[in-house]
Amino acid sequence: MNQSESRFRKLVYLGFIVLLLIPIVVLGMPGGGKFSTPGVLSSMRSEFELGESDIGKIDPTSAAMNMVLLGFRGIAVNSLWASVEHYKNTKNWAQMKSTSDAIIRLQPHFISVWRFTSWNLAFNVSAEWDSVKDRFHWVKEGAKFLQNGIDINAKNPDLAWEEGRIIGFKIGMSDESRYFRKYFKSDPDVEQFKGGPDPKINEQALDNYLVARDWYIKANDRELNQRQRILDRTLFRSYPARSYFDYAAALQKDGVFGEQTRVAWDDAYRDWTTKYGREIFRVPEIPEAEMWMEMSEDDISGQVKTGDEERRLRKAVDDYQKIVNYRYWRDRARCERDPQMADAHREIYEAQVAYGEQRLTEAKALVESGMKNFGDMLKKYPDLLAVDDLLLEDALTAVLMWQYILKLSGDTPTDDYPLKVIWDSQQGRLPDVQARLDRWLLEQSRNPDKK
């Protein structure tokens, strides 16, 4: 091949390159210039809001890393995932966290990565540590990690919901919840947070369920514009109201009674019935009608035209109420916001404390009054007993406590006492309830300041 042939061949290649460049320029030309009109791709990106700035906060580090790697992002990510798994298995937590951060910089809009890694940190890594303070640190790591994802993916509802789950569910319902809930308001890292909360996850020193509620509300707001991919929509949107229930129940569990707890139940009831209960859903069972949880017979009749539609809508309301446990929570909140029920819980709890401190006469009076109030309330809301295991267990705990006190006082239990029906019918639950009560009393004796 002589030199002119080689030059000609190169010129032909150059011609092809220029030819291919023309459609690329036409398709990909960016908009926003003074004279140019945007290319097709640019217009579509704006229309479907797929640009970086439309999706969320732009992370220059992430953009730089992706640029530098050219087309090798996939290989790099795979290698990093292998490293994360290795670091996790060999318990090298610092390296695991920093490698996870690197992955997320390469895949900032891959929602599953955010969800997986935050769960990994908050649930799996946290459980590996022995000290509760260390466990809490890693739960926070998971929550903070997710907050970055929420900023970077500003329209995604799933991540905000996950954040609510970590702060509500993980902190409030794990084995260590008693400590986690306390640390959430008063971080154990006293040197850094001076006895206050970690502002990155709890700026206003609120209860964890109230903070979780804010995240669930954020998730619901986002869900109006972008479909969530976690739960049935009726369930997904129930979480802000459910957080109120969890908050009120947690107050009771912590031994906080009186007006604060009653008001919490009242707020929960109103949120459940007037906000969530009035929220309109379109369900596939009857797409032609609107459905909401708190539908009366008149509401149902007003929504439909034929008898068949009415039957289908009524069934849909019933089904979805069952899915979200709507009626149970409504009745439970109605019952718990009653001052008599609040008194019953308080008296039974105080009786346990008095028993632990050997104030037997006081304990006996408290538990008997509590049992009476409890019995009265259950007569008022008999349906609750059919579905509420917690209430049943509370009732059994009260009777058990009463029997402990009588035994220690040398008295004989009478045959006629409030909650007898429950005691007799629920003997199968007794071993668990007894174990839980004994453990609680043991912990109280170890940590008398925890009341």
Is residue 132 close enough to count as binding other proteins by CB under 8 A? yes
Is residue 129 close enough to count as binding other proteins by CB under 8 A? yes
CB 330 within 8 A of CB 241: no
CB 126 within 8 A of CB 174: no
The CA-atom distances, in angstroms, between 88 and each of 77, 121, 212, 238, 447 are 16, 10, 28, 35, 35
Question: Binding pattern to other proteins, positions 46-65, x when CB under 8 A?
Answer: ---------------x--xx
Q: What's phi and psi for 281, nearest 5 deg?
A: -120, 145
Is residue 97 close enough to count as binding other proteins by CB under 8 A? yes
Among 3, 4, 37, 89, binds other proteins (CB under 8 A): 89
Nearer to other proteins, 90 or 361 (CB): 90
Is residue 137 close enough to count as binding other proteins by CB under 8 A? yes
Q: For residue 77, give the amino acid letter.
A: V
Among 78, 425, 445, 447, binds other proteins (CB under 8 A): 447
Q: Measured in Å, how far apart are the chain's first and last C-alpha atoms?
A: 94
CB 120 within 8 A of CB 142: yes
Stretch that binds other proteins, among 131-139, 208-216, 238-246, 306-314 (CB under 8 A): 131-139
CB 341 within 8 A of CB 335: yes
Stretch that binds other proteins, among 25-33, 171-179, 338-346, 419-427 (CB under 8 A): 171-179
Question: In 3-state terms, what secondary structure has residue 281?
Answer: strand
CB 107 within 8 A of CB 113: yes
Is residue 144 close enough to count as binding other proteins by CB under 8 A? yes
Looking at the DSSP assignment, which residues form a beta bridge with residue 291? 281
Is residue 224 close enough to count as binding other proteins by CB under 8 A? no
CA angle 319, 321, 326 (to 5 degrees): 160
Report d(CA 438, CA 427) in Å as an integer. Answer: 17
Minimum Å distance from CB 137 to other proteins?
8
Stretch that binds other proteins, among 69-77, 99-107, 224-232, 405-413 (CB under 8 A): 99-107
Within 237-345, strands assigned E span none
Is residue 94 close enough to count as binding other proteins by CB under 8 A? yes
Is residue 193 close enough to count as binding other proteins by CB under 8 A? no
Minimum Å distance from CB 304 to other proteins?
53
Is residue 182 close enough to count as binding other proteins by CB under 8 A? no
Is residue 76 close enough to count as binding other proteins by CB under 8 A? no
Binding site for other proteins (CB under 8 A): 61, 64-65, 89-95, 97-98, 101-102, 105, 128-132, 134, 137, 140-141, 144, 175-176, 179, 200, 446-447
